[in-house]
Amino acid sequence: MIKHFLSSDDLTGPDQKALIARAIELKKVRQGHSQPLAGRSVGLLFEKPSTRTRVSFEVAVSELGGHAVVLRSDELQLGRGEPLQDTGRVLSRYLSAIVMRTFGQDRLEQMAEAATVPVINALSDLEHPCQALADVMTVSERFKDPRGVKFAYLGDGNNVCHSLMLAGAKAGWKSITVGCPTGFEPIEPLMEQALAIGEETGSRIELVHSPKDAAAGANVLYTDVWTSMGQEAEQKERLRAFPEFQISNETLELASPDAIVMHCLPAHRGEEITEDVLEGPQSAVWDQAENRLHAQKALLEWLLSEKKRR
């Protein structure tokens, strides 16, 4: 059976834990490890702009011994109306895996239904599971006992927030508190999914509308941009709704003394986070960005471990 990674919920708790452990090993030795992708090619299909995702996946494939084929939909027959299913069938004949950064989650699901190789969600409007995997890795590096971590997400209940709730609950973090303005909450099905996982792992999931309540005693303060790709028409409304949810030194004072600050980038300094916090001693942002590479290497290795060399 083909293994896909379309959602943070596609990994079991033990699978996720093993991937994080492997990612930490791969981080210690960038070169000289096994190259499971030698002689194999991975397609990177981008329907949205990308910096960290594109570069980290290209480098990950290369360091695992493979060849990355970067594709844009406007350069493919997709741009002229070829169905996703047909594209998935054809690409599967050439590639060992397909990494896709797109809009609707349904596009990923259509690709995965047709493909005969693993499909990886490199971001959709619903989830960003590769980001969450790197974030769980970062928390695991910074805290001796991640299961005791109180995690606070401040801002928009978006795709990153969705995946963090799922992945954090699978990691068994003590609590995951989402603080957001009314009307910008995570979608209910994902919230219920995270709550169900939390019941099994002991992770408490909570939604609040007060940034102070969310930040109080937190070990991790996390934020993302207030206006994501495709939401530009809502920017003025969002800038009015979110100012209280900015992570600043005042927010840090509410958190635990050992708190770290995380942001999936790109950051809008002066909006969701102040520059002094982003560049300050409690920022884990740059390690977090680097960990995209190592987590994705572990993911590619795991997904392709049972597939014969093409």
Give residue limits of the domains in the chain.
8-128+291-303, 131-289
Query: Is there a catalytic annotation at residue 101?
Result: yes
Whether 216 has a pLDDT exceeding 60, the answer reads yes
Q: Which of 128, 142, 238, 263 is catalytic?
A: 128
pLDDT at 232: 77
Condensed to tens digits (0 to 9), the pLDDT of residues 146-170 reads 999 999 999 999 999 999 999 999 9
- Rounded to the nearest integer, the mean pLDDT of the chain is 95
Query: Is there a catalytic annotation at residue 131?
Result: yes
Return all residues near 239 (Cβ < 8 A) that are at least 6 apart.
226, 227, 271
CATH architecture of the domain with residue range 131-289: 3-Layer(aba) Sandwich (3.40)
Number of H helices, E strands in the chain: 12, 9
* CATH superfamily membership of 8-128+291-303: Aspartate/ornithine carbamoyltransferase (3.40.50.1370)
Q: Which of 9, 135, 156, 224 is catalytic?
A: 224
Condensed to tens digits (0 to 9), the pLDDT of residues 98-109 reads 999 999 999 999
pLDDT at 306: 58
pLDDT at 154: 98
Whether 233 has a pLDDT exceeding 90, the answer reads no
Rounded CA separation 237/102 (Å): 25
If you average pLDDT over residues 11-24, what whole number do you get? 98
Taking the whole predicted model, whether its pTM rises above 0.85 is answered as: yes
Return all residues near 242 (Cβ < 8 A) that are at least 6 apart.
155, 156, 181, 184, 226, 271, 272
Q: Which of 130, 161, 180, 264 is catalytic?
A: 264
pLDDT at 305: 84
Catalogue the E-assigned strands of 47-137.
67-72, 97-101, 119-123
Condensed to tens digits (0 to 9), the pLDDT of residues 41-94 reads 999 999 999 999 999 999 999 999 999 999 998 888 887 789 999 999 999 999
Whether 310 has a pLDDT exceeding 70, the answer reads no
Rounded CA separation 33/85 (Å): 35
Query: Is there a catalytic annotation at residue 128?
Result: yes
Q: Which of 22, 101, 142, 238 is catalytic?
A: 101
Query: Is there a catalytic annotation at residue 161?
Result: no
Lateral strand order in the sheet of 260-263: 204-208, 175-179, 150-154, 220-223, 260-263
Rounded CA separation 115/124 (Å): 18
What's the token pair of residue 222? Answer: 């996390």
Cα 46 to the center of its chain, rounded Å? 16
- % of the chain beyond a pLDDT of 90: 89
Q: Which of 4, 40, 162, 292 is catalytic?
A: 292
pLDDT at 241: 94
Task: Assess contact for 289 and 263: CB atoms under 8 A.
Answer: no
Catalogue the E-assigned strands of the chain.
41-46, 67-72, 97-101, 119-123, 150-154, 175-179, 204-208, 220-223, 260-263
Which range (50-64, 199-213, 216-230) has the least confidence?
A: 216-230
Q: Which of 16, 110, 131, 296 is catalytic?
A: 131
pLDDT at 308: 43
The reply to whether domains 8-128+291-303 and 131-289 share a CATH topology is yes
Residue 230's CB is within 10 A of a number of other CB atoms, namely 10
